[in-house]
């Protein structure tokens, strides 16, 4: 039996192993760095961590995507190692490749499209064994609501739960390995009738995903049994999900999205959710991609027209009664 710092007995003799990581370096194939003239080698990569300099940009804007790749010993790869980048969901473009710098970081530029979208940018590297290691970052394009928190996760095979603490947690079921993004949206204009923060769920690919269980925590405990979960359908419309359960003990509303629910898994391309009341009007938050065109100030002329018409009708009724 081989353990770090333990004795390894061979034919009556013994060998003390004090540095297991050092031994591992002798047992794995070297990872060649083809971009250096001296053919620098290192341990093979086993993980990639990706982040975007900005989680939201304007249409036609841009941001930097950084990828840090680590080897089997937990160290960053040296300068000159090629990392691949790709937009795997949503619009826009990104540099196809970039090489690591002295700090082991490869950076690429993401250029956003001319229309609002949610883009997932993935960075990957292939080890000598043929295994691909990847991670991703999510960028909201043309979204004028504030993204107060965001979590992007490259999921693995089987069940996996991703959490925005105290707000939202989502469990992916199935053999598919999509990128799952959760975000909390603040300062949504023209919003009312909501009992929870606005949250966003983005599934990069529904292939191989059996279900996605979405659990939203609400903050308003008034008439809890009348609470329901609403999702944004587009064109300023919010609709209740096809089925949900309310747990008043822990203040949550749960919805499980599948291929046949409303919304379905394929609809989760940056879909906002909020807890409202099923006994009243649906939440009135406007489209996240058209907030500029529908800010509260744009409703003032309409409000004045309706108010004037109402006063005129009231005066007419008074004259008739006289």
pTM over 0.85: no
Tell me the three-class secondary structure of the chain, residue by residue: CCCCCCEEEECCEEEECCCHHHHHHHHCCCEECCCCCCCCEECCEEEEEEEECCCEECCCCEEEEEEEEEECCCCECCCCCEEEEEEEECCCEECCEEECCCCCEEEEEEECCCCCEEEEEEEEEECCCCCEEEEEEEEEECCCCEEEEEEEEECCCCCEEEEECCCEEEEEEECCCCEEEEEEEECCCCCCCCCCCEEEEEECCCCCEEEEEEEEECCCCCCHHHEEEEEEEECCEEEECCCCEEECCCCEEEEEECCCCCCCHHHCEEEEEEEEECCCCCCCCCCHHHCHHHCHHHHHHHHHHHHHHHHHHHHHHHHHHC
Architecture of domain 1-142: Sandwich (2.60)
Summarize pLDDT for 149-198 with one digit per residue, the tens: 999 999 999 999 999 999 999 999 999 999 999 999 886 654 566 888 89
Summarize pLDDT for 2-53 with one digit per residue, the tens: 344 444 333 444 333 344 444 443 344 455 555 544 455 677 888 899 999 9
Summarize pLDDT for 204-246 with one digit per residue, the tens: 999 999 999 999 999 888 888 889 999 988 766 788 999 999 9
The highest-level CATH class for domain 143-290 is mainly beta
């Amino acid at each position: 039996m081989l353990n770090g710092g333990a004795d390894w007995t061979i034919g009556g003799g013994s060998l003390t192993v004090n540095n297991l990581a050092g031994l591992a370096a002798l047992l794995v194939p070297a990872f060649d760095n083809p971009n250096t003239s001296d053919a620098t080698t290192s341990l093979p990569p086993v993980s990639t961590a990706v982040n975007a300099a900005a989680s939201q940009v304007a249409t036609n804007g841009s941001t930097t995507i950084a990828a840090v790749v680590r080897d089997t010993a937990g160290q960053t790869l040296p300068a000159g190692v090629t990392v691949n980048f790709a937009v795997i969901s949503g619009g826009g473009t990104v540099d196809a490749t970039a090489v690591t710098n002295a700090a082991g970081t490869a950076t690429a530029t993401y250029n956003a499209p001319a229309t609002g979208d949610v883009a997932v940018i993935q960075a990957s590297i292939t080890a000598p064994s043929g295994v691909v290691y990847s991670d991703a970052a999510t960028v909201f394009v043309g979204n004028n609501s504030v993204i107060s928190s965001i979590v992007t996760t490259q999921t693995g095979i089987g069940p996996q739960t991703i959490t925005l603490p105290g707000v939202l947690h989502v469990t992916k079921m199935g053999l598919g390995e999509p990128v799952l993004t959760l975000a909390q949206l603040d300062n949504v204009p023209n919003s009312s009738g909501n009992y929870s923060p606005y949250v966003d769920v983005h599934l990069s690919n529904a292939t191989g995903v059996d279900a996605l269980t979405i659990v939203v925590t609400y903050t308003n405990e008034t008439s809890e049994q009348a609470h329901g979960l609403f999702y944004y359908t587009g064109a300023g419309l919010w609709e209740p999900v096809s089925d949900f359960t309310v747990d008043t003990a822990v203040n949550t509303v749960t919805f499980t999205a599948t291929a046949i629910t409303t919304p379905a898994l394929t609809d989760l391309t940056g879909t906002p959710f909020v807890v409202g009341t099923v006994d009243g009007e649906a939440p009135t938050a406007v489209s996240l991609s058209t907030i500029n065109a529908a800010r509260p100030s744009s409703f003032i002329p309409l409000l004045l027209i309706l108010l004037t018409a109402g006063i005129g009708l009231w005066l007419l009724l008074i004259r008739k009664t006289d």
